[in-house]
Amino acid sequence: MDAAEVKKMAKEFGADLVGIAPISRLQNLPPQRNPLSISDRTKAVVVIGYRILRGAMRGIEEGTNFGSTYGMFGNNWLEHEFLARTAYLLTSWLEEQGVEAIPLLPSTEGSGQNFPDYRVVAEAAGLGKVGKGGFFLTKEYGHRQRFAMILVDADLAGDPIQDIDFCNDCDACAKACPLQAMTVGSDGAVAIDLDLCSRCQNGASPKPSSCDKVDRYAAACGRACMIALADKITNKFAQPFRKRQAWSIGLRGDKKLDGEKVAFVGGVCPKQ
C-alpha cells in the first residue's frame, strides 16, 4: 500500500479532494492541535474533502431558502453524513490493510479536546492555503469544501505544498460584510470579529459547525469570495452565480441594498 493507492481509494469512496501530510510537517504544532497528542504512532495524516455545492447556496443568495438547500447539503448532511461516511469507509479499508487509522472531523477551539486545525493540516497536505477572509481556498473549488482527517501509523509520501495566492489585491469578502466585521490592515491582512459574525443575518450560522466557530461559507462574505474566485478555480459554471445586487441586513435588522428599496429574507421584507 502506498500514497497513490490510498488517494485512489479515497476518490472511489466519494472524496472530491485528498492529500497527505507527513507528520514531519506537523510535529511542532502546539499539543492541543498536534496529531501526535491523539496518537504518538501517527506517521501521516490523510485529509479528504467534499465540495460544498454551489447550488446549495442558491436559496441563501435569493433569500428564499436557508435550511433544506445550504443547511442540509452545504452543512449538516454534507459534513455529518456524506463526508463522515467516506472517512469511515476509507478508515475501514486502511484497517483491512493492517494500518491503524483514526478518523476525525474537525473541531473548533475551546472544545476541551485535542483536535488538529483542519486548515493547517490541509495546507500541509498540499490541498491549498488559508485566504485573507479565513476561508481555506483550493484551486478546485475556492472556499467551497469541508474536510475530514485520518491519522495513520503508516509511512506515506506527502503531497507538495501549494504556493497559491488567490487573495492578492482582493478584499471582496471584507467589502461584502454588512456588519463590517472584517477590517483590512495596512499590510493587507484581514482581522475578523467572530462575535459580530455570530450575529450576522446574511447567511452565517451562529451555531459552531465541526469546522468553524461560525459557519460563514454561505454568508455575504463567503458568497463574495466565491464570486471573486469564479474565474480562478477549475470548477467552472456556464452561468455566473449572481443575478442581481445582493440583499443584506445590518446589525439592527436594517435593510441595505445599495440604494434599492427592497431587501428580503425568506420572501419577507425585514421590518424597519
Give the tens place of pLDDT for each residue, 198-241.
Answer: 888 888 887 665 678 889 999 999 999 999 999 999 999 999 99
Choose among 174, 175, 178: nearest CA to 199.
178
- Beta strands at 129-130 and 136-137: parallel, antiparallel or unpaired: antiparallel
Rounded CA separation 177/249 (Å): 10
The contacts of residue 170 (CB under 8 Å, 6+ apart) are 132, 228
**Do the domain assignments include residue 173?**
no
Query: Taking a C-beta distance cutoff of 8 angstroms, is the pair 104, 152 a contact?
Result: no
Q: What is the number of structural domains in the chain?
A: 1
pLDDT score of 172: 93
Q: Which domain holds residue 129?
A: 3-152
Rounded CA separation 123/183 (Å): 24
Give the global pTM: 0.88
Give the tens place of pLDDT for each residue, 28-86.
Answer: 999 989 999 999 999 999 999 999 999 999 999 998 888 888 989 999 899 999 999 99
Rounded CA separation 127/196 (Å): 29
**Do the domain assignments include residue 162?**
no
- Which CATH number covers residue 85? 3.40.109
Give the tens place of pLDDT for each residue, 189-206.
Answer: 778 998 889 888 888 887
Choose among 130, 145, 107: nearest CA to 18.
145
